[in-house]
Structure 1
């Protein structure tokens, strides 16, 4: 498969996720699980820590995003990643007409 084919499949899959409502369902599931496991609080606390350390006037949203995104992704529990991946694979297995 060429990168063009991969891009077409990715675009089609993303469209299907949106049109079926699966993207929103997965987003809500992920959000709920991240809150339940304390991840959201950890990220919020880290954000507050950064702002307090640097001073409100000295921090931009871009600064926060640049610092928080890699750390935040790294602390997502593996069981949540696995569950999301399993749900995505299940959805994908039902999309025979995409390929």
Structure 2
């Protein structure tokens, strides 16, 4: 089995665990091996900055820190509050674009 800092281990053909992989895991491995996952992540970062999402999340974090006091807020507190709001506020058009790119990757001649 090969190991890397940047990706999870890729099972060898000899490895019996390949039979136990879910479709999601197989797709994830293929995305990582081809470098497509990193390209999608970069696209996501760019689009979130362009639409103001990153600024909105930063503002929410700063507001929480002001409310509770700088010394009374942990990273876990921020994650707990911001994660649901962040996920819910990602534009549907961006989700659709990423989904379309993943579909195009999985079925290249569609």
TM-score (norm 2): 0.77
Of residues 85, 94, 97, the one that matches 2:99 is 85
1:18: how far off? 0.5
Runs of 4+ with >2 A deviation: 5-8
CA separation in 2, counterparts of 1:83 and 1:6? 30
Where in structure 1 are there 5+ consecutive unaligned residues?
95-99
**Structure with greater helix share of residues:** 1
Unmatched 5+ stretches in structure 2:
1-18
Determine which of 87, 97, 107 is the counterpart of 1:73: 87
Structure 1 residue 53 displacement after superposition: 0.6
Larger Rg: 2
Alignment of 1:59-70 (within 5 A): 59-70=73-84
- CA shift, 1:6, in A, is 8.7
Provide the aligned length of Structure 1 versus Structure 2.
90
TM-score normalised to the size of structure 1? 0.85
Q: Decide whether aligned partners of structure 1 residues 33 and 69 sit closer, same or farther in structure 2, where only a CA change above 3 A counts.
A: same
